[in-house]
Structure 1
Amino acid sequence: MDHVQLTPPTAAGVADRADAHAVAPLLNCLLREVAEPYAAAGAADAERRVYRLGGTGRLLRVRGERRPAEPELRVDGAWQRVGHPELVKLVADELRRHTGLSNHELPAEMLDSRDAVAALLTARTRTPPPEDPYLRSEQSLLTGHPYHPAPKARGGGPVAAWLPYAPEAYARFPLTLLAVREDEVAEEGDTTALDALGEAPPGYRLLPAHPWQLELAGRELADAFADGRLLRLGTTGFDVRPTAAIRTLYAAEHDLFLKFSLDVRITNDIRRLWRHDLLRLRRTDTAAAAALAAQDGPAAWLADRGYRTAAFAFEELAVLVRDGLRGHVLPGATPLLAAGLVEGFEGSPLDGAADPALWWEAYLAQVVPPALAAFADHGVVLEAHLQNTLVAVDRAGLPVQALFRDAEGVKLLPEVSREAGWERLVYCLVVNHLVEIAGALVEHHPALDPWPAVRRELARHDLPEIWALLSSPTLPGKTNLLLRWTGADGAAARYLPLPNPLAGG
């Protein structure tokens, strides 16, 4: 990678960019979940669309569709610009009227998310991005989830507490090494890779810890450190890089991913490794691995091999061991995070796709068949959204392989009904994933119509649900704004109908 010249930003420049990054996903949520298009004569112009807000009947217009910007509210017959703080107040007022409920936490999260982006933008001027294009794609997500009201919130804590561990700031840091007394170890699966990260004293087992999580859980662990059940051994002699998931770290020297608990709300959930998820890990991971291994193509599953923790702090100190990349990625190919392709990063193959139609067909051929076959043949619902899918490209930037990860999000039939599993798959694979990749590709190549290729790829697969999907006027869209406002569990997905770009082709 060429040398990157880092220049100090102006305060105004950072503020404007942070506002833009924060406004787009918040508007996406507002317009999707509690607004209707408004088409009265003279209301819109060629560049702006107008919406009526359901709670108050007020009119709001925005520039652009995929990443709406520059919101304006109709006040006394004129359009008035709305900044991010005013937009937060507007959203809160609409939701109070729409739901009849109050929520003081979510507006604070929205403001925290915007301020986090400002801190990340400033930090980026001091640190160059990773040389490795894979890591660059994982650490590219300044906007993050395009349909979440507070995608970059970090629990409201001080910037100094979380910034050293932020992937978007190109962070790298050593792991903290602990030792847990052998009679207090709780583990399942293959955790032997952890023992290569350091050396525990006799009678103890090595337990790496995320330093941020250790700070968050410090008081709860004080007694264990005091009575010798837990020891501090220092830090690793190598750095790890946080991936887009923040709490999942990549140790490149060991070609290993390690996923930790993190007692911070990130998007919808407190990101702890919950006991119930860990106890079902072997079942879901084995099922997902078998579903992908049974296929003829190059698709791969990054296995969650096992977990280790301390019995007295089962969730707080849990660490999950995940396969690295080298044993799975095709020779000569470069893995990239699908979400990074949407966000954009230096060296993205979308920037240089000479034949976008060919690139898109290759992408679909790698990503779609494995996810559908896992469902149809094995009853496995992969959480094939943007952050759980890696796409490996050849030297020309053409997609040649898909890799899927995260057994925690996998659903199995008949533990969930076929109908619920299919809805989840359509949301993750089509709405969250393909719609976003298609939108990013069209921004680079406006003449491309991406949907005929998607219809052709889907129609190749003999599932009874496919024809309904291709003819349905709507797709399921997750309601993250209403979900957070009403305090629902993040796993309790609620969907509303969205226009289906696959229909009518």
Structure 2
Amino acid sequence: MCRTAAERAVAAELDAVRPGLTTRYAAELPGARAAVLTRLWRGLVHEPLPWIATRTGDREGVALRLDDGRRLHGPASDPWATAASVTGLDLDGVRYDHPAELVAALAVPRGDRFAAELDHSVASLALSRTAPRPAPPAHPWEWEQKDTDGHPYHPGCRSRPGFSAAEQLAYAPEHRLLVALRLARVEGAAVSGAWPRELRDGAAVLIPVHPWQAEHVLSGLPLRPGPAAHPLMSLRTLDVGGDTHVKTALSTRLTSTVRDISAYTVTHAVATSDFVERLVARLDGRLRIARTVAVAGAGDADLAALLRESPHVHADAAAGERVVPVAVLPALLAPHTPDERLDRVVEFARLALGACLDLLDLGVALEAHGQNLLAVVDAEGRTRRLVYRDLADIRISPARLARHGVPAPPVTGRLLNDDPAVLRRKVLGSLVTGALGPLAGDAPTLGTVLEAATRDLAPTPDLRALRAEPLPAKALTLMRLGPDGGGDLWTGLPHPGVPAGRDRQVPRVHGG
């Protein structure tokens, strides 16, 4: 039964465009509500929200006392758990099983906007879960299309504002349809790298445009038909064949971020990629970079595109290797026994932590979450190498580079930062809370993985910080309740093994 505005809107549109999905969509709604409510409760329990006065609890449950005196009660919350375990929360004696209805009842600043996002997240998640799941994937891009649920900890995991149900069915990777790109002919475009001949028209550049962007943002611009492409995990990046991926501008908010391609990226992306690729060569083959080939822009973040090497070129297909985004590794490991799965997760964690911490010591902090970081796995699901893609939001430390005798790359601006806290948040907040946590699935397993994976790593200051300090994590709920444009906000989560829900002082928030 559809209860909210977004749920009813999607159902009504399905009745018109895909009536065969309406019943399945309605059946998925209760599970989608629980999945988003679980993510929301994690944020309420573990993030430093200013209108929560106290938190008390034990393994049986957690009580939040709001600053207006009301009491919100729910089950114990493991900040590393990924299973949808929360089916209802009690606010002063009233039970809420829909995250949007709960946030509306909380009546906190900017809560109306957030409630609408959660409503959309539930409806879109239910729609995503109607997609059939073929197994096993026959093509590289199909590994990117296996995930239906999005970010494992973000309550806006499937929020796609501006996308109708028909557009989600047509463009979202989980529905696995070919997307017909458009081409914009641009005279005088800014270009970095070797823009391919087939995307040129005389002196003009042909910039690939996502069809959603063409209709909603660039509707007055004359566009040509472009190549058909397979949408990948990030939705706006697509496989156009020939071992090339194209990252398109898509000026809407997906999860937390408005997706466009800035003039800064057009200027810096190729030089950044070349530099990181050379530096990664010091890691003895453990990590490869899906290099940026070229970027073109028309002086507007709404009209730009980036061409990138497919990560799959780094697999030896003849030896049975595959390249799998870390976010879908659980699906690959599912057929194994629990002990085998844990063994493979530890192997992956040891390789990923070792490579990322070694690179951080050299001076580059990767944003190695489950979408940007990929594993080259053999036929038994064992990770042999890593591939990293999308260098747009890494951080580079000129001071650390200088200590190793490495000249800083020819880039300026936001990519450069020497602050150890910022660099560690970038790496650990992505790799531990964005990849290893979801891969482990709960605090006890993550604690086991971290202990085993770090036992023999080089004892750098960054490794000591990983072991001794609260683990950095984006304050995802707080960020969505803050003003737009406020940037990333960070908090610290207890190390795995600290009892979930125990009375504790919530760490303060950090910006940047």
Name the residue aligned to 2:360: 375
Q: Which residue identity is paired with 1:484?
A: R
Name the residue aligned to 1:150: 156
Q: Which residue identity is paired with 2:282?
A: A
SS in 2 for 1:385: coil
Name the residue aligned to 1:413: 397
Aligned ranges 1:155-234 → 2 under 5 Å: 155-181=161-187, 184-192=188-196, 195-196=197-198, 201-219=201-219, 221-222=220-221, 225=222, 232-234=223-225
User: So what's the TM-score if we normalise by structure 2?
Assistant: 0.79
Number of residue pairs matched by the alignment: 450
Name the residue aligned to 1:118: 126
Aligned ranges 1:348-387 → 2 under 5 Å: 348-353=332-337, 355-377=340-362, 379-387=363-371
Residues 133/350 of structure 1: CA separation in 2 closer, same or farther (3 Å cut): farther
Q: Which residue identity is paired with 1:339?
A: A
Matched, 1:276 2:264: yes
Residues 449/284 of structure 1: CA separation in 2 closer, same or farther (3 Å cut): same
SS in 2 for 1:30: helix
Question: Would the aligned equivalents of 1:110 and 1:153 in 2 still touch at CA under 8 Å?
Answer: yes
Aligned ranges 1:83-102 → 2 under 5 Å: 83-90=98-105, 92-93=106-107, 96=108, 101-102=109-110
Question: Would the aligned equivalents of 1:88 and 1:111 in 2 still touch at CA under 8 Å?
Answer: no
Residues 151/503 of structure 1: CA separation in 2 closer, same or farther (3 Å cut): closer
Name the residue aligned to 1:19: 33
Residue among 254, 276, 284 paired with 1:288: 276
Name the residue aligned to 2:403: none
Matched, 1:69 2:86: yes
Q: Which residue identity is paired with 1:284?
A: T
Name the residue aligned to 1:50: 62
In structure 2, list runs of 5 or more residues that go unmatched: 1-19, 399-415, 500-512
Q: Distance in 1 between matches of 2:443 and 2:424?
A: 26
What is the deviation of 1:334?
A: 0.7
Question: Would the aligned equivalents of 1:451 and 1:502 in 2 still touch at CA under 8 Å?
Answer: no
Q: Which residue identity is paired with 1:23?
A: L
Q: Distance in 2 between matches of 1:351 and 1:489?
A: 43
Q: Distance in 1 between matches of 2:208 and 2:118?
A: 32
User: So what's the TM-score if we normalise by structure 1?
Assistant: 0.80
Question: Would the aligned equivalents of 1:349 and 1:398 in 2 still touch at CA under 8 Å?
Answer: no
SS in 2 for 1:386: coil
Name the residue aligned to 2:304: 318
Q: Distance in 1 between matches of 2:21 and 2:120?
A: 25
Question: Would the aligned equivalents of 1:207 and 1:309 in 2 still touch at CA under 8 Å?
Answer: yes
Q: Which residue identity is paired with 1:425?
A: V
Q: Which residue identity is paired with 1:20?
A: A
SS in 2 for 1:401: strand
Residues 435/104 of structure 1: CA separation in 2 closer, same or farther (3 Å cut): same
Q: Distance in 2 between matches of 1:53 and 1:154?
A: 32
**Which sits farther off after the overlay, 256-265 or 478-487?**
478-487
Return the structure number with greater relative CO, CA threshold 8 A, min gap 6.
2
What are the superposed Cα offsets for residues 66-118 of structure 1, whole Å, 9 maximum, x if unpaired? 14421230544xx735333422324x52xx2xxxx335422211111111122
Matched, 1:38 2:42: no
Residue among 271, 294, 297 paired with 1:309: 297
SS in 2 for 1:487: coil
Question: Would the aligned equivalents of 2:248 and 2:305 in 1 still touch at CA under 8 Å?
Answer: yes
Name the residue aligned to 1:496: 491
Q: Distance in 2 between matches of 1:37 and 1:137?
A: 40
Q: Distance in 1 between matches of 2:203 and 2:417?
A: 43
Q: Distance in 2 between matches of 1:502 and 1:404?
A: 30
Q: Which residue identity is paired with 1:164?
A: A
What is the deviation of 1:440?
A: 6.6
Q: Distance in 2 between matches of 1:275 and 1:456?
A: 43
Q: Which residue identity is paired with 1:234?
A: P
Q: Distance in 2 between matches of 1:58 and 1:203?
A: 65
What is the deviation of 1:296?
A: 0.8
Q: Distance in 1 between matches of 2:459 and 2:31?
A: 46
**Which sits farther off after the overlay, 282-291 or 446-455?**
446-455
Q: Distance in 1 between matches of 2:224 and 2:273?
A: 31
What is the deviation of 1:463?
A: 1.4
Q: Distance in 1 between matches of 2:494 and 2:304?
A: 41
Residues 130/234 of structure 1: CA separation in 2 closer, same or farther (3 Å cut): farther
What are the superposed Cα offsets for residues 171-214 of structure 1, whole Å, 9 maximum, x if unpaired? 32232234334xx222111222xx346xx654543332211111
Q: Distance in 2 between matches of 1:441 and 1:128?
A: 31
Question: Would the aligned equivalents of 1:50 and 1:61 in 2 still touch at CA under 8 Å?
Answer: yes
Residues 143/327 of structure 1: CA separation in 2 closer, same or farther (3 Å cut): closer
Matched, 1:478 2:474: yes
Report the RMSD for the aligned CA atoms in angstroms: 3.0
Matched, 1:453 2:452: yes
SS in 2 for 1:80: strand
Residues 260/246 of structure 1: CA separation in 2 closer, same or farther (3 Å cut): same
What is the deviation of 1:215?
A: 1.2
Residue among 459, 463, 467 paired with 1:466: 463
Q: Distance in 2 between matches of 1:64 and 1:422?
A: 25
Q: Distance in 2 between matches of 1:133 and 1:87?
A: 42
SS in 2 for 1:395: coil
Question: Would the aligned equivalents of 2:352 and 2:386 in 1 still touch at CA under 8 Å?
Answer: yes
Residues 384/485 of structure 1: CA separation in 2 closer, same or farther (3 Å cut): same
**Which sits farther off after the overlay, 61-70 or 366-375?**
61-70
Q: Distance in 1 between matches of 2:217 and 2:25?
A: 34
Residues 53/301 of structure 1: CA separation in 2 closer, same or farther (3 Å cut): farther
Residues 69/318 of structure 1: CA separation in 2 closer, same or farther (3 Å cut): same
Question: Would the aligned equivalents of 2:29 and 2:122 in 1 still touch at CA under 8 Å?
Answer: no
Q: Distance in 1 between matches of 2:391 and 2:231?
A: 19
Residues 22/156 of structure 1: CA separation in 2 closer, same or farther (3 Å cut): farther
Matched, 1:82 2:78: no
Name the residue aligned to 2:505: none
Question: Would the aligned equivalents of 2:182 and 2:225 in 1 still touch at CA under 8 Å?
Answer: yes
SS in 2 for 1:452: helix
What is the deviation of 1:9?
A: 4.4
Matched, 1:250 2:239: yes
Question: Would the aligned equivalents of 1:62 and 1:70 in 2 still touch at CA under 8 Å?
Answer: no
